[in-house]
Structure 1
Amino acid sequence: MPTRSRTDARRRWRKLFAGSVVLIAVAAIGFTLWSNRQDEPNKQTPVADPGGTPLPDAQRARGDLDRLTIAWNRNWESYDRNAFGPGWSGRGGEPVLADGCTAREDVLKRDLTEVRLAEGNSCMVRFGVLIDPYAGERLPYDRFKASDIEIDHVVALGDAWRSGASQWSAEQREQFANDVGNLLAVQQRANQDKGSKTPDQWRPRNAYWCDYARRWIAIKSHWGLTVQATEKSALADMLTTCSPPTAR
């Protein structure tokens, strides 16, 4: 009887071992398929130009600011993030730009230094370093680890909705949400503090006032969005920090 018991035990162990091997093989195949899908560039109809709205010099920004229409915010209670199309979940299906990358991917490639891309994928940033424009901190980036880096809409979608985007088509709103000229890689905490506030309510560190105001004005001007009087005054104040043009 003891011999038979040992034989039965060995058979059970063999079955368990064989089952484990099968499970490991299936898991390995699944991971390989997932990894390959992650490394493939996006193949969808582009929603926007990867160049985005250009950043004007200070003189042009002052002129554009003067021409912006002053109006009270409206339709604020009806804002819905989904009205601007899908975000960048990283799970696939995100809108892509004309270069085949998502807006988020293009912003990371543009704003990070020491960038290392995924092998065989010119869109996916695996590693990099951000010098955050809002707070000035140096932040490491690793795609597969929790990060303190977020992508900010400088002119927030909520503010855009209140200053004119509520009247746009769904296609226009999706294009706006993916305008890389309105996107920055920034520190998570600063981005959350900013939220959908306008420059009269929130500003980055002083050293970034000039670029921030120029970018804000460029977006409002390009997309035909309105400003409030206090917002316009704050932007004019921030532009005073821009260096005067060099005399020739």
Structure 2
Amino acid sequence: MDETSPAWRRPVPWLVALLVCVAVGAGVPAWSQARVAARYAVTADDLAAGRAALDRLPVRGPAPTTGYARERFGQAWADVDRNGCDTRNDVLRRDLAVTVVDGCVVLRGTLDDPYTGVPIPFARGPDSAAVQIDHVVALSDAWQTGAQAWTPARREAFANDPANLLAVDGPANQEKGAADAATWLPPNRGYRCVYALRQVRVKAAYGLWVTAPEHDALDRELGRCVVGTVRSP
């Protein structure tokens, strides 16, 4: 049909209304969904690379958690890059804005939390757990999908790899626990595409596998990505 004809234009308003109603029925206005998704837009190249990496990941059942312990991944927040600062402070300094730093130690700052979409003030002290460092691919998940066969040095490198670490809302991090993408995704729906891409990249880089439900969840979220011109974080 000719897109310039009146017959083409007439259905548009109630198609828009239908989309708005569907979104409102899901609890989120359509314009809010679009705005949040656009905030975390990815490039077409990023998305294509992520899809190709997901297609290459082996799909297997999870190995038992037998033998897993946090200590199997080395010292928590070791200074693996030998810059004189521990990994936790490195990530806080990278992810927080308006930071106040004393040497290596981040004293204050503000986190634009990707998991909830809510700004969170950070201050070192009794309430510092309001901001936590999440392993995007949880250590227990890694253990069940290949890491138990690694050397201790490789596990420590994985646990301190900035590509697998994010400063996030503490309660959201606790809620996630050791879950994979099949059982937990960030409540901030707009960030789920970037989260899925991070998981795929990390698993591909370290030769980990995915379970069938995990593969399906990651594939679904990549299908919902918004393509823009800004490279994903």
TM-score, normalised on structure 2? 0.75
Shift, 1:115, TM fit: 1.1
- Alignment check: 8 A CA contact 1:84 1:173 kept: yes
Query: Does 2:138 correspond to 1:156?
Result: yes
Query: Counterpart amino acid of 1:113?
Result: A
Secondary structure of the structure 1 residue equivalent to 2:184? coil
Q: Report the 3-state secondary structure (helix = DSSP H, G, I; strand = E; otherwise coil) of the residue aligned with 1:77.
A: coil
Q: Which runs of 4+ in 1 moved over 6 A?
A: none
Paired residues of 1:200 and 1:230 also in contact (CA < 8 A): yes
* Residue equivalent to 1:170: 152
* Partner SS state of residue 99, structure 2: strand
Q: State the superposition RMSD in angstroms.
A: 1.4
| Residue 206 of structure 2: aligned partner | 223
User: In structure 2, what is the equivalent of residue 129 of structure 1?
Assistant: 110
Matched, 1:110 2:79: no
Task: Give the match for residue 66 of structure 2.
Answer: 77
Report the Cα distance in structure 1 between the residues aligned to 2:87 and 2:150, rounded to whole angstroms.
Answer: 20
Equivalent position amino acid for 1:79 in 2: Y
* CA deviation after TM superposition for structure 1 residue 245, in Å: 5.3
Q: Which whole-Å deviations, capped at 9, do the CAs of 1:163-209 have from their partners, x for residues lacking one?
A: 00000010010000000110011111100110111111011021101
CA offset digits 1:49-89 (Å, max 9, x no partner): xxxxxxx811110000000001111131221111001114x
- What secondary structure is seen at the aligned counterpart in 2 of 1:98? coil
Gaps of 5+ in 1: 1-55, 89-93
1:67 aligns with 2:50: no
By how many angstroms is 1:95 displaced? 3.3
> Are positions 1:235 and 2:210 aligned together?
no
Please say if 1:95 is aligned against 2:79. Answer: yes
Larger relative contact order (Cα-Cα within 8 Å, sequence gap ≥ 6): 2
Are 1:85 and 1:170, in contact at CA under 8 Å, matched by a contact in 2?
A: yes
Unaligned residue ranges in structure 2 (runs of 5+): 1-44
Overall identity of the aligned pairs, in %:
43
Contact 1:86 1:95 (C-alpha < 8 Å) held by counterparts: no
- C-alpha change, 1:168 and 1:233, in structure 2 (3 Å) is same
Matched pairs, number: 183
